[in-house]
């Protein structure tokens, strides 16, 4: 093998070695603020005090800080359009403690049976849902289709 061929081979090997060992990116795959998407609402008509509402949502978070180890800190917020304030729900950590990794998955929420606020035989409501991560970043909000609450 001549000197030119050896140098060419050494150059090609060096290029492969450099690019083969370089980290592609330290950047998270998703945005640092959580993002959610509505998948399904089960029971769009419920009987007060009896039927639960089930909501399935997709989530993604760039640094994996969704959920909390402290059960007194809530991360899921669900606002009934008929009420002024949101109900808050606990969410355990969705990634290992101390890890900064991009995560995604599905959350299945079972909401407590609701009730009529007025004296009628039925009411309609829409649920608005969002998440807050440990850094205080709020996700986008999603809304359910109208849900009808019936008197038993």
Confidence of residue 132 (pLDDT cuts 50, 70, 90): very high
- Confidence band (pLDDT; 50, 70, 90) for 9? very low
pLDDT in tens, 67-108: 999 999 999 999 999 999 999 999 999 998 788 899 999 999
CATH number of residue 119's parent domain:
2.60.40.10
Q: Is residue 26 in some structural domain? A: no
Determine the pLDDT at residue 152. Answer: 83
Whether residue 8 is contained in a domain is answered as no
Residue 12 banded pLDDT, cuts 50, 70, 90: very low
Domain count along the chain: 1
2 is a domain residue: no
**Which secondary-structure segment (H or E) carries 13?**
helix 3-21
Is 114 contained in some domain? yes
CA dist 79 → 1, 63, 83, 129, 142 (Å): 75, 26, 7, 6, 10
Look at residue 22 and tell me if it is in a domain: no
Q: What is the DSSP string of 90-139?
A: E---SS-TT----EEEEEEEEEPP---SSSSSEEEE-EEEEEB-TT--B-
Cα–Cα distance for residue pair 127/142, rounded to 1 Å: 8
Whether 130 is covered by a domain: the verdict is yes
User: What pLDDT does 17 receive?
Assistant: 40
In a domain, 6, yes or no: no
Q: For residue 92, what are the domain limits?
A: 35-150
- Distance (Å, rounded) from C-alpha 7 to C-alpha 2? 9
- Average pLDDT of the chain? 86
18 assigned to some structural domain: no
CA angle, residues 62, 65, 66, in degrees to nearest 5: 100
């Amino acid at each position: 093998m001549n000197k030119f061929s050896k140098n060419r081979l050494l150059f090609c090997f060096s290029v492969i070695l450099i690019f083969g060992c370089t980290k592609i990116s330290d950047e998270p795959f998703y945005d640092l603020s959580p993002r959610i998407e509505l998948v399904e609402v089960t029971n769009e008509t419920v009987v007060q005090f009896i039927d639960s509402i089930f909501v399935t949502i997709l989530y993604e978070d760039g640094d994996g800080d969704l959920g909390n180890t402290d059960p007194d800190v809530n991360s899921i917020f669900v606002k009934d359009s008929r009420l002024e304030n949101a109900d808050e729900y606990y969410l355990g950590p969705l990634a290992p403690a101390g890890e900064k990794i991009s995560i995604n998955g599905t959350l299945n929420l079972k909401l407590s049976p609701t009730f009529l606020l007025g004296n009628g035989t039925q009411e309609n409501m829409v649920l608005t849902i969002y998440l807050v991560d440990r850094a205080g970043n709020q996700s986008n909000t999603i809304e359910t289709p109208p849900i009808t609450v019936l008197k038993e």
